[in-house]
């Protein structure tokens, strides 16, 4: 599978589809830059005949603040597929495996876009059934 597809290219395509076009600008016109990376993936064995796929990704945001100081924030993501029998993953030349990796990349892109929206609006988003809590955290002023 690694020889027949470009994970970086597939991930970039998923990101371009997830992020609204009006927010995609050339590097020299950008107020902030984003670097998204697929870190790794594992095929995990859960029992004698059940496997799942786990993917990790990260997103590094960089932006200039007043006074020229650069801020950076890294967000990390993990996607876990369902546990399925080996036969499921291998049927039809491994199409379920390929489709699950594609779904994971698309899910990362959606989560990253959601985090970018949270950072832009400075609003922390709670976890939902489909999405984790946003990487952005609102400032809290606690005194103990």
Instruction: Tell me the pLDDT of the chain (144 aa) as tens digits.
Output: 555 667 788 888 888 889 888 888 777 777 778 889 999 988 888 878 899 999 999 999 988 777 778 889 999 999 999 999 988 988 888 889 889 999 999 999 999 999 999 998 999 999 999 999 999 988 776 655
> What does the alpha-carbon distance between residue 50 and residue 45 come to, in Å, rounded to a whole number?
6
**pLDDT score for 75:** 96
**pLDDT score for 142:** 63
Q: Which two tokens stand for residue 37?
A: 């990376």
Closest to 99 measured CA to CA, from 53, 58, 130: 53
Domain spanning 7-121, CATH architecture: 2-Layer Sandwich (3.30)
From the number of C-beta atoms within 10 Å of its C-beta (0-12, 13-18, 19+), residue 126 rates as: exposed
**pLDDT score for 125:** 95
**Residues with Cβ within 8 Å of residue 29, at least 6 apart in sequence:** none
Answer yes or no: are the C-beta atoms of 83 and 76 closer than 8 Å.
no
Q: Which two tokens stand for residue 63?
A: 């932006």
Q: Which two tokens stand for residue 139?
A: 């400032």
| Partners of 61 in the β-ladder | 34, 73
Answer yes or no: are the C-beta atoms of 90 and 51 closer than 8 Å.
no
**pLDDT score for 144:** 54
Closest to 76 measured CA to CA, from 138, 132, 142: 132
**pLDDT score for 123:** 93
**pLDDT score for 4:** 61
């Amino acid at each position: 599978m690694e020889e027949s597809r470009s994970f970086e290219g597939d991930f970039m395509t998923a990101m371009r589809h997830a992020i609204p076009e009006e927010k995609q600008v050339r590097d020299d016109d950008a107020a902030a830059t984003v670097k998204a990376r697929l870190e790794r993936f594992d095929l995990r064995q859960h029992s004698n005949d059940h496997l799942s796929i786990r993917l990790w990704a990260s997103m590094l945001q960089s932006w200039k603040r007043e006074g020229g100081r650069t801020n950076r924030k890294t967000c990390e993501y993990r996607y876990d597929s369902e546990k399925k029998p080996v036969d499921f993953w291998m049927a039809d030349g491994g199409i379920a495996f390929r489709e699950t990796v594609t779904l994971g990349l698309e899910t990362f892109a959606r989560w990253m876009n959601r985090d970018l929206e949270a950072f832009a609006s400075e609003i922390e988003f709670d976890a939902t059934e489909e999405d984790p809590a946003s990487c952005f955290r609102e400032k809290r002023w606690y005194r103990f």
